[in-house]
Amino acid sequence: MQPLWTPVARYATMPTFPRFMILLFSLLILTPQMSMASTPGEQNADNNGTDEQTQLRQLAQLAEYVGVDYSAAVENGEVVNADEYQEMLEFTSLIIEKLSENPHITEQSPALYRQALALQTSIKNKQDLSIVRQISSALRGTLLTLMPESSLPKHLLSDQDTQNLFQTNCATCHGVEGRGNGILAANLSPEPTDFTDKERAGNRSILGLFDAISNGLDDTAMPPFTQLKEQERWSLAFYVASLAFQGESAKNTAKVVDTVSLQQWVNHSPFQLAQDLSDQGITQTDIEALRANPETLFNHQPSPILITKNLLLSAKQAYDNGDFNQAKTLSVSAYLDGFELIENSLDAHDKNLRKNIEVNLMQLRHLLSNTQNASQLEVAINTTMLQLDQAQKLLTESNLSNATLFSASLIILLREGLEALLVVIALMTVLIRTNRRDALKYLHFGWVAALIAGGATWAAAQTLIDISGASREMMEGFGSLFAALMLFYVGVWMHSKTHAAHWQAYINKKINSQLKAGTLWGIALLSFIAVYREIFETILFYQSLLTQTENSQFSYFIGGLGTGIAILAITTWGLLKYSIKLPLAKFFSITTYLLLILSFILMGKAISALQEAAVVPINALPVHIEMDWIGVGSTWEGISAQLAVLILFIFYMVRTKKKTA
């Protein structure tokens, strides 16, 4: 085993620039994490916010419970079950009490307290069921607007595991079939819920069921099941919500999934959803069929356009609630987790529409950051929604032609892979020309590891972890920035060695010792970053493209991919063959400018990625410029960074000429 001080000693003996780059890269990785660390005051604020959100969830649960169970307490203005009626009174009193104890909640929405009092009054007056449910639904709706989105599961347990969980934890009270007739039911008051009661189930939300399982119900025999994992509780909630609708089937469930987000599906009851979606051709039967088969919600991937629209609506809701930071975060996610994934496909139909939507999504970030932009924001969101509808129509009603699919598949690979290839080839030829073929294994280790890591990251993102678009862009942005700085350094270094005499002297004195001092692993790292930053995004773009590919068109998709691989292979062969034959001085001169161009491109893409992730601000140029192939965009930040690369390189060129004159 190496002594613990060995890595530090090695770092201390490295040449100055590699040490500087390691330090810089460490700062780039650690700074975003450090900036998220909370002070004790911030942690207290977070805890207070968490307590408030818990209370909001409890209030929403109580409001729903009153609306659902009122029919068992009062009928035709008369109390038919004294225990149930007393429970209704106690729940409404508890709602009012909790609101009185938390003035901050009612300050955010003054209507809450009035709605709670109206609900209590309607129950005291034994009003009609429809009126009580209308008031309780309005109260719960107001509470939902104040609550952040729930942490939802990516997958449910298998049917068998969920049924076993139900039999172990729920059947003794609710019965083997969930009919409320378990062996302990007769001794309980109020009686356990009959989950097969269709009228009752139609008014229950999955969120309400999940909260009841998680927290229990006060003044009832329902205990909190905190010993269960969150996924187990969600699986039970979806399962018991399905029992009243078993056997229902419909052909329109795919449309429901594409229209309603999982968050909306969890938050609202089937009756509420059917009422809200009736104008879109979705029926109560469609909703009930999906309730009976909830696995469809998790197997079906929502379209990127739908993701964009839902996140924009959530951003607008956060803005209306005064949470501007959350609104901006959601607007960033609307672009990165949704629209960005179909940009290539939309370009094939209408490039101008794609540009207009992209510009509007960027503009929305600014509008969502200030309360004085309310009127402009409303117009901008409506405009963007109409454009997104137009994009959705283009993408769904007209399949990509065979030629368009082939070219899109080809261009994605060439655009994402060419830069990484040029970096690897440039490093490879430098090692070969300096007679350091033994170092090639480090280079190959870097890009092969990147391919494996990229594939593993994508697989993990599909099954184990949730990698947001912002995280992906930050990874690409910081990786591009590191690669741009490294390539700039190598380019300047090579320019200073373009004269054969200088290069020979350098070989004799330094190259062997420096490569032994740690540069080899630096080469491996640069090779890894150059490839890894592209591979994950390439897979995402291909995944999005496949959603618009018919089975009969798959050969064209593969044909574009194969052609792209062939072009990259031929490019590799040509660069290696002809660069080896160049005279040493000319080789170094050409490679210098190639590395400069790559540094220029990567610097522009680094700034663009960090802007998309909302790490770097966006200040638009007076004119719109878009040259993706060389990383040039229409922002002052991107142009300034790329100009800095050119100016610094010119400075080094002039200084080198003066020294050799």
Rounded to 5 degrees, φ, ψ at 79 are: -75, 125
- For 402-439, the three-class secondary structure string (H helix, E strand, C coil) is HHHHHHHHHHHHHHHHHHHHHHHHHHHHHHHHCCCHHH
Q: Is 336 within 8 Å of 470 (Cβ atoms)? A: yes
Count of alpha carbons within 13 angstroms of residue 478, beta-carbon side: 18
User: What is the average per-residue pLDDT within 286-307?
Assistant: 82
Q: Tens digits of per-residue pLDDT, 316-358?
A: 888 888 888 888 888 888 888 888 878 877 877 788 898 889 8
- How many angstroms separate the most distant Cα atoms in the chain? 106
CA 244/CA 158 separation, integer angstroms? 19
Categorize the per-residue pLDDT at 248 as very low, low, confident or very high, splitting at 50, 70 and 90: low
Q: Does residue 494 surpass a pLDDT of 80?
A: no
CA 538/CA 532 separation, integer angstroms? 10
Q: Is 156 within 8 Å of 295 (Cβ atoms)? A: yes
653 or 224, which is more confident: 224
User: What is the average per-residue pLDDT within 122-149?
Assistant: 89
Q: Does residue 264 surpass a pLDDT of 90?
A: no
- Report the chain's mean pLDDT, rounded to a whole number: 78
Least confident window among 149-158, 172-181, 285-294: 149-158
Categorize the per-residue pLDDT at 503 as very low, low, confident or very high, splitting at 50, 70 and 90: very low
CATH numeric code, 159-299: 1.10.760
User: What is the average per-residue pLDDT within 61-74?
Assistant: 89
CA angle 91, 94, 98 (to 5 degrees): 145
Phi-psi region of 38 (alpha: psi -120 to 50; beta: other; left: phi over 0): beta
Q: Tens digits of per-residue pLDDT, 20-49?
A: 333 333 333 334 433 334 444 444 444 444
Q: Does residue 249 surpass a pLDDT of 80?
A: no
Q: Is residue 661 helix, strand or coil?
A: coil
478 or 588, which is more confident: 478
User: What is the average per-residue pLDDT within 270-275?
Assistant: 88
Q: Does residue 523 surpass a pLDDT of 80?
A: no
Beta bridge partners of 627: 632
Q: Is 509 within 8 Å of 429 (Cβ atoms)? A: no
User: What is the average per-residue pLDDT within 443-463?
Assistant: 78
CA 246/CA 289 separation, integer angstroms? 8
CA nearest neighbour of 203 among 261, 297, 269: 269
Tell me the one-letter amino acid at 596. L
Categorize the per-residue pLDDT at 532 as very low, low, confident or very high, splitting at 50, 70 and 90: confident
Q: What is the pLDDT of residue 518?
A: 53
Q: What is the DSSP string of 319-345?
A: HHTT-HHHHHHHHHHHHHTTGGGGHHH
* Residue ranges per structural domain of the chain: 47-146, 159-299, 307-388, 401-660
Name, in order, each residue with C-beta under 8 angstroms of 165's C-beta and a sequence gap of 6 or more. 157, 228, 232, 235, 236
Q: Is 206 within 8 Å of 237 (Cβ atoms)? A: yes
Q: Is 304 within 8 Å of 338 (Cβ atoms)? A: yes
Tell me the one-letter amino acid at 186. A
Helix axis angle, 82-101 to 40-73, nearest 10°: 160
CA nearest neighbour of 16 among 514, 637, 628, 615: 514
Helix axis angle, 469-495 to 402-433, nearest 10°: 40
Q: What is the pLDDT of residue 246?
A: 85
